[in-house]
Amino acid sequence: MTSTILPVAPAVESMNALFQGLVERAPQQRQLSAKQRIKRLNALNAEVWRRRDDLKKAMWEDFQKPPEEVDLTEIFVLKSEIKAVKRSLRNWMRPRKVPSGLALVGSSSWIRPEGKGVALIIAPWNYPMQLVFRPLVAAIAAGCTALLKPSELTGHTAKVVAEIVAAVFDPREVVVVQGGVETTTHLLTLPFNHMFFTGSPQVGRVVMAAAAKLPCSVTLELGGKSPVILDASANLKSAAKRIAWSKLSNAGQICVAPDYVLVHESVRDAFVDQLQLAMDSLYPDAESKARDYQRIVHTRHAQRIEGLIIDAKERGATVIRGGEVDTVGCHVEPTILVDVPAGSRILHEEIFGPVLPVITWGHLQEAIDFIGERETPLALYLYSKKKSLIREVMSAVPSGGVSINNSIIHVTSTNLPFGGLGSSGVGSGNGEFGFREFTHFRGVYEQRWAGVGGLLMPPYTRSKSRLINAVLKWL
């Protein structure tokens, strides 16, 4: 299948025509067997694999993403997702019989999973391929048609994504529309049956408001400030290595990157020393810094991160390491800040860059309160050997997900739900959880024989009243 690719920011009429094609196709798509859905997933898998080098080239041009990280954080993630979905899809699609209940004696009841219809998938730039295709895998598995809108900030990758889709899918099943705010604003007026948005909490609110007008269901995979709590019992060396890696991978441009570290005051200096060693070991020389350390996606974002560092410094924060920003080259040094004053913007806005404030606590409640004063985080990271501390923090601090003694890895699991809570998101993706977001669970009731319903209809004679009383007492 090869269809033509639309120009970036296509005319409204073209978008409307594409949408109409998806609407007309949706009833057929809903009826595809597991085998037919899997055939489509296999085709997507094969085409992504065939275009692997083009994807690497595109992501290097977009923001110098190291080729190995394209393999690990884009292609590996997508292939694992497809594999997991293929393994269980038949099971997820199966209608499930449920008991009918006493009042419905004489009947049969079951739940029929059905694709919701036409899905809109809007993606951000930080993982520009897998954040488009991972939800698409769920949409195809569920039996939906889908319109994909990749980010305009990673335009080279968006073009390859559009080519892959055009090579694999009939445009009445899946299409890509490239463009920015204006294009997305128009798409949000079309009567989709589900909107799956990954991006910032600010734009998430715009999407939810648009969905409310239709109305249609939404999945919002958003961001925010994901904290680390580290106590004195933690293995400082391995914790520092894992935190440094998860903060510097993708140059900190990860929705679940550790945003700041709350460390027990007795081990702050030792932890910061280990953190520096870990950063040195990840990017030991100029060559590895040039090759393996990613750039910031856009000058605007580099300026935003620079602004956060300057603001913190002006308020009295100490830069322990890094701090230099090249806004033209979109390069931000791995940066560690300590003694950051409470009012600093960096302690309130999502950092989304390779800058790590380290904050101390004396009593655990101080760390819990610090997180509680902010929006609900997407991820919470606990580094400790004390089970009681881990239990206490998990009970006191809500979050989308939790990792204990590691960071960010949990999002790759195809068995764990991945999503936020409150301002960090609505709903969740990955594996069966993604499938469920695009699925309508249709309740079906069939009257097999007379049952008791007729006995409870008016006129309410004394014997019927006695029967109602007896049933209520029995329950």
CA-CA-CA-CA dihedral for 382, 383, 388, 393, to nearest 10:
-20
Q: How far is the CB of 400 from ligand NAD (least distance, A)?
A: 8
- Judged by beta carbon, residue 100 or residue 126, the one nearer ligand NAD is 126
Among 144, 216, 255, 330, the one annotated catalytic: 255
Report CA-CA distances (Å) from 232 to 188, 237, 239, 263.
49, 12, 11, 8
How far apart CA 249 and CA 125 sit, in angstroms, is: 15
Match 């991945």 to its residue by tokens. Answer: 418
Q: How far is the CB of 108 from ligand NAD (least distance, A)?
A: 40
Helix (H) / strand (E) containing 36: helix 34-50
Phi-psi region of 143 (alpha: psi -120 to 50; beta: other; left: phi over 0): left
How far apart CA 365 and CA 369 sit, in angstroms, is: 6
Residues that bind ligand NAD (CB under 6 A): 122-126, 131, 149, 151-152, 180-181, 184-185, 198-200, 203, 206, 221-223, 255, 350, 352, 378, 425
Q: How far is the CB of 419 from ligand NAD (least distance, A)?
A: 7
**Encoded tokens for 380:** 């919470």
Q: How far is the CB of 297 from ligand NAD (least distance, A)?
A: 8
- Judged by beta carbon, residue 231 or residue 306, the one nearer ligand NAD is 306
Asked if residue 229 lies in contact with residue 244, where contact means CB atoms within 8 angstroms, the answer is: no
Q: How far is the CB of 187 from ligand NAD (least distance, A)?
A: 8
Among this protein's residues, is 221 annotated catalytic? yes
Among 74, 221, 306, 333, the one annotated catalytic: 221
How far apart CA 285 and CA 288 sit, in angstroms, is: 5
- Judged by beta carbon, residue 113 or residue 150, the one nearer ligand NAD is 150
Residue 250 phi, psi dihedral angles, 5° rounding: 60, 20
Q: How far is the CB of 43 from ligand NAD (least distance, A)?
A: 25
**Encoded tokens for 395:** 């009970």
Residue number with the shortest CB distance to ligand NAD?
223
Match 């501390």 to its residue by tokens. Answer: 389
Closest CA to 241 of 211, 196, 280: 280
- Judged by beta carbon, residue 131 or residue 236, the one nearer ligand NAD is 131
- Judged by beta carbon, residue 55 or residue 255, the one nearer ligand NAD is 255
How far apart CA 427 and CA 196 sit, in angstroms, is: 9
- Judged by beta carbon, residue 221 or residue 333, the one nearer ligand NAD is 221
Asked if residue 344 lies in contact with residue 391, where contact means CB atoms within 8 angstroms, the answer is: no
- Judged by beta carbon, residue 250 or residue 335, the one nearer ligand NAD is 250
Asked if residue 317 lies in contact with residue 356, where contact means CB atoms within 8 angstroms, the answer is: no
Q: Where are the beta strands (DSSP E) in 362-397?
A: 379-383
Q: How far is the CB of 101 from ligand NAD (least distance, A)?
A: 39
- Active site (catalytic) residues: 221, 255
